[in-house]
Chains A and B, each alone.
Chain A
Amino acid sequence: MPKNNGDLLLEMHGISKSFPGVQALDKVDFTARRGEVVALIGENGAGKSTLMKILGGVYRYDEGRIVLRGEEVVFRSPHHAQQLGVSTIYQELNLTTNQTVGENIFLGRQPRLPGILGALGLIDRRAEREGALKHLKHLGVPIDPRARVSELSVAKQQLVEIAKALSFDSDILIMDEPTAALPDEEVHRLFGLIRSLKQQGLAIIFVSHRLEEVMEIADRIVVLRDGQLVGDVPIAEVTVQKIIQMMVGRTITDMYVKDKIEPGEPVLEVRNLTRKGVLSDVSLTVRAGEIVGLGGLIGAGRTETARAIFGVDPIDSGQIFVRGKPVRIDSPRSAIQHGIGYVPEDRKQQGLILIMAVRENIALARLPEMADLGWVRSGEVNQLANSMVEQLRIRTPGLQQQVMYLSGGNQQKVVVSKWLALNPRVLILDEPTRGVDVGAKAEIHGLINQLAKQGIAVLLISSELPELLGMSDRILVMCRGRIAGELQRHEFSQEAVIALASGAEQLATEA
């Protein structure tokens, strides 16, 4: 069969799938052609991941059929899907980080030595290395097949995963939020690679929340909402605003409505915070009612700063003042006692206890206050949880629902409400809207503004420039463990932040 760009490669007809209590997909059609980048978008819970996992052989579907290269197929397993040429690159990469790049690419199908040795299971290391090198070169990726995966950057690990996928002769590549963990320059490199794969006749299914990127890379977008197909249009016919409209089914006007708040007294002051090799001389002040943005590239030390302030990681030197008084913070517990709350970047591992109920997650940090000699006053906890659910509009079937079943946005609201329960003076938000859908994002932004209005000092870490620029009163930009510069609101621009973050200004002054 000739492989021409534009050939229909994949057709999914009327795919339905339900989980107990949820119709995840309802008669969804989906197609992909050779040489095409299809962006699959929708709010969290819209059914993107379900559709993707059906295509990846992870889930069975209840109804519908899949036609691959003109033949009807049934994927029996992820492995089977891969053998049929459909490879998925998940956001959480599937690499064995303790092994080498070459071992990873040939995992489960290692080339054997010839003859009896091979029959005994001995691996032909040279063939493995050379084969891996061939695949990596094909991608134009300079990675040594002998390197251990754990030593590579996330971006490079992702490339290894792509090389592995292509080594199966895949012609359909599904990428789930491939840019979520990548710094900007790596995103551009990845897009270059995607374009060249497209030229080679692959179909790429690109799942992302970042609409700017979708506009840049996709040829066509497929939008899902509540398990239903709501749009399948060429990229030329849409705008970001229009996509958002399709996703949420309503118009979101002006994502960032910033209320003018007159900042009060300094609440959190950090002086010369230093942690060898990680942070050097980090000083910052956040006043009551102020939202201070902390920008910078991944690895610039933003999360590390937050963790040091919150007492998670030890510091080598530096001082922290809360409302003018020096405080000693050596654990999250002591930070909490001083009125500091921290919404961590990694919501699922550090923000929430996924298997616990909404009620317990909300009350966890405040529980000691709501107990007599350890005996929890249940009524009070229910009251607190109820009022938080109401106040923050957390969508949950009940207080007893385990938080793992909530959508990303609602999960994040649970984390935020855990801190609000304590009436904090300072709230540090680390990537509060990562992996959160557009509607919930706007709600969280509104919430942050509201908190500032109540006089909470907010330190906002965000890799998303529009969010950082839209929400902050001031922005501090970090670069290589230092504060590289401060921007006042009238100086705000994406370029200014990027310049500071990439160390451009520093280089200029040093030169």
Chain B
Amino acid sequence: MARSTEKVQALTAGEQMQRGLAGILRAKETGTLAALLMMCLALTVTTRAFLTEDNLFDVIRGFSFVAIAGLGQIIVMLTGGIDLSVGSTMGFAGWIAAILLAGTSRGSTEVTPEILASGFAGPLNFPAATLIAILAGAGIGAVNGLLVTRVRLAPFIATLGTLSIFRGILVGFTEGWTQRIYQPQFLFMGQGYLARVPVPIIIMVVLAVLVFLFLTRTVWGTNIFAVGGSEAAAKMSGVPVRNTKFMAYVLCGALAGIGGILMSAKLGVAMPTAGQGYELDVIAAVVIGGTSLAGGEGTVWGVLIGAAIMGVLRNGLVLWNVPAYWRESFIGLVIIVAATVDQFRSLRRP
């Protein structure tokens, strides 16, 4: 396939299509995609279970929550920031949805007569509860955004703080209890299938397309890249730097919230520990996907590949019967290898 060299003048719709293709083929993500395909190939050859419809959909659904949170994380990382609080945000939003649907904040694990009488319904119906839960995620993002843009804390510190604060609030309110969810429409979002495809996968794809369009086709998206590329130059060009960053954190919170909600819908319970440690998986997925920690560079496509590599690897470790106690170190190894490859790639620049 012709890579159409660099003479891409971007004039006609046809040329734009071509440019899109060239973009997909451009080295950075191609390398990680190749790594992903190689992993898949190795698993196909060495195990019987990998290349089956059930397993593949299981794997993809498994990483879809991380990928969705990753779609938020990349927005923040493109501005040159980082959001460590996404794991807490995921757990928090999932729990908010659960209590709004179940009607108690300290739910029992059994179906009580009251719940049966109410037709499994909490104080709010399914769309309202879900929306409020997403807004709760966005709210955590807004707190992060304010801390970063107004109080001018370093993103790492600000979100390290909110990571603990919101996890703490969650554990505090639940006192460690798990909240069961019965609302069938809600559970469908996590457990259901549309045309044999698990619903979370469909949601992930839709969100990926939306975030892609947001980043590449809107003024805000361009501003996000500009702020991450050079904050000084962006400011000098009239880009509202602080608002742009604020918005990035809000969107990150909202997307992490969606990831968390789907995760609780998949499990059918909201646990106070849900999403704990996920911030590392999310950040790893984004970075493996080629997003620069310095900001300004990265693609949605890369996030999906990065999340897939993490997901396939976890699946592979299970299929290969790697003892559970050892799995974590393999994942660490993959992160290091991916970052190393990226390092060599960036060295080629003049």
Give A residues with C-beta under 8 Å from B: 19-21, 310, 312, 331-333, 335-337, 342, 344, 346, 349-356, 359-360, 363-365, 367-368, 371, 374-376, 378, 382, 386, 397-401, 404-405, 418
Contacts and interface: CB of A to CB of B under 8 A. Distances in A.
Contacts of B230: 349-350, 352-354
Contacts of A21: 6
Contacts of B5: 397
A364 B229 CA distance: 12
B344 to A, nearest CB: 15
Contacts of B348: 20
Interface stretch (B63-71, B152-160, B217-225): B217-225
Contacts of B350: 19, 405
Contacts of A418: 237
B214 to A, nearest CB: 9
A360 B236 contact: no
Contact of A365 (B6, B9, B217, B238): B238
B106 interface: no
Nearest to A335: B238
A344 B226 contact: no
Interface in B223-263: 223, 225-226, 229-230, 232-240
B233 A400 contact: no
A354 B236 CA distance: 14
Contacts of B229: 353-356
A375 B217 contact: yes
A404 B297 CA distance: 14
Nearest to B226: A353
A364 B217 contact: no
Given A346-B232, A350-B236, 10 more contacts: A19-B350, A20-B348, A312-B235, A312-B236, A332-B236, A336-B237, A378-B217, A382-B10, A400-B6, A400-B8
A399 B9 contact: yes
For chain B, the bracket of interface size reads 20 to 34
Contact of B219 (A312, A374, A386): A374
Contacts of B240: 333
14 contacts: A20-B348, A331-B235, A332-B236, A349-B230, A350-B236, A353-B296, A371-B219, A386-B9, A400-B8, A400-B19, A401-B6, A404-B349, A405-B350, A418-B237
A398 B237 contact: no
A372 to B, nearest CB: 10
A395 B240 CA distance: 30
Interface in B118-148: none
Interface string B1-17: 00001111111000010
Contact of A360 (B11, B220, B222): B222
Interface string B199-211: 0000000000000
B222 A399 contact: no
Given A356-B225, A376-B219, A398 B9 contact: yes
A332 B238 contact: yes
Contacts of B225: 353, 356, 360
Contacts of B7: 397-398
A398 B236 contact: no
A356 B215 CA distance: 13
Contacts of A405: 350
**What are the nearest 3 A-B pairs in CB distance?**
A353-B229, A336-B238, A397-B6
Contacts of A331: 235
A397 B234 CA distance: 24
